[in-house]
């Protein structure tokens, strides 16, 4: 299995550094009328100091992605996550286009 670099085991900078909760500088939720909602994470890599960002489908979001305990999935959770597969470049582009086409899109308030 190729779990080591997969989204479900964590968020990684392009330099390979694992990103943890303390590295996150901004977090938002994007609601779509159709399709998946997204969790948006912006982070600063502690190693190379670059800013990066990740969009993660809400149904595959897990707080453990930002902690060191992401492998503690039950077999049924793991099976569910496996079916989702990795996020694709097409999905990223689609998401950006969606944002551009819908300026009324609002961020969810924190509370």
Part in contact with Zn ion (CB under 5 A); list of ranges 7-15, 33-41, 87-95, 97-105: 7-15
Report how far residue 14's alpha carbon sits from residue 2's, in angstroms, rounded to the nearest whole number. 17
Report how far residue 14's alpha carbon sits from residue 31's, in angstroms, rounded to the nearest whole number. 27
15 makes contact with Zn ion (CB under 5 A)? yes
In the complex, what is the shortest distance from the CB of residue 22 to Zn ion, in angstroms, rounded to a whole number?
14
Selected binder of Zn ion within 6, 9, 12, 17 (CB under 5 A): 17
What are the beta bridge partners of residue 56?
39
Report how far residue 88's alpha carbon sits from residue 60's, in angstroms, rounded to the nearest whole number. 14
User: Can you give the binding site for Zn ion, defined by CB under 5 A?
Assistant: 13, 15, 17, 45, 47-48
């Amino acid at each position: 299995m190729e779990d080591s670099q997969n989204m479900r085991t964590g968020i990684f900078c392009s330099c390979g550094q694992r990103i943890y909760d303390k590295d996150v500088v901004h977090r938002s939720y994007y609601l779509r009328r159709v399709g998946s909602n997204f969790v948006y994470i912006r982070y600063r890599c502690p190693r190379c100091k670059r800013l990066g960002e990740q969009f993660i489908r809400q149904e595959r979001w897990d707080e453990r992605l930002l902690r060191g305990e992401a492998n503690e999935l039950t077999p049924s959770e793991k099976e569910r996550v496996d079916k989702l597969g990795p996020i694709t470049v097409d999905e990223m582009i689609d998401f950006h286009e969606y944002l551009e086409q819908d300026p009324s899109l609002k961020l969810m308030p924190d509370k």
